[in-house]
Amino acid sequence: MISAPKGILRLAALKMFSESSLSGTDLAEQIRRVTGGEWNPGPGSIYLLLKELLKKGMITELPRREGNVRRYIISGKGKEELTRLTKQTEYDVSRQLRLLAVYSSLAGKNELRGRVTALADALGAKPGTGKP
């Protein structure tokens, strides 16, 4: 199992809600499926996020058809946020790679550090600027 970086659950949820209507359980199952079982967000994380996305108007609850199962779909505001998060992805990945380069260096793996840094540079995000 991997630990997911902050914000990735929001991106995953909005992306998946943009593709189809899902319940919280469906969302967790989709994430497990897409990540090959490497990431398994817990129900607390899922339902806390659903509450936040609903409150901010980024998802809409659909009328219930199957008993008490609540299903959601992305809203217009959620689509705008998904676009913003998608644009931010290269910068965020570059930042994570730069951190891994430092980690590699501290472990004495300088060849690995060079490779990871080159990959971060290829993404084009400027180090230390806070901007893509």
Per residue in 23-80, pLDDT (tens digit) is 999 999 999 999 999 999 999 999 999 999 999 999 999 998 768 889 999 999 999 9
Is the confidence at residue 127, as pLDDT, over 80? no
Q: Measured between alpha carbons, how far is 60 from 57 in angstroms, rounded to an integer?
A: 7
CATH, domain range 1-74: 1.10.10.10
Domain ranges of the chain: 1-74, 87-125
Length of the chain measured in residues: 132
pTM of the model: 0.79
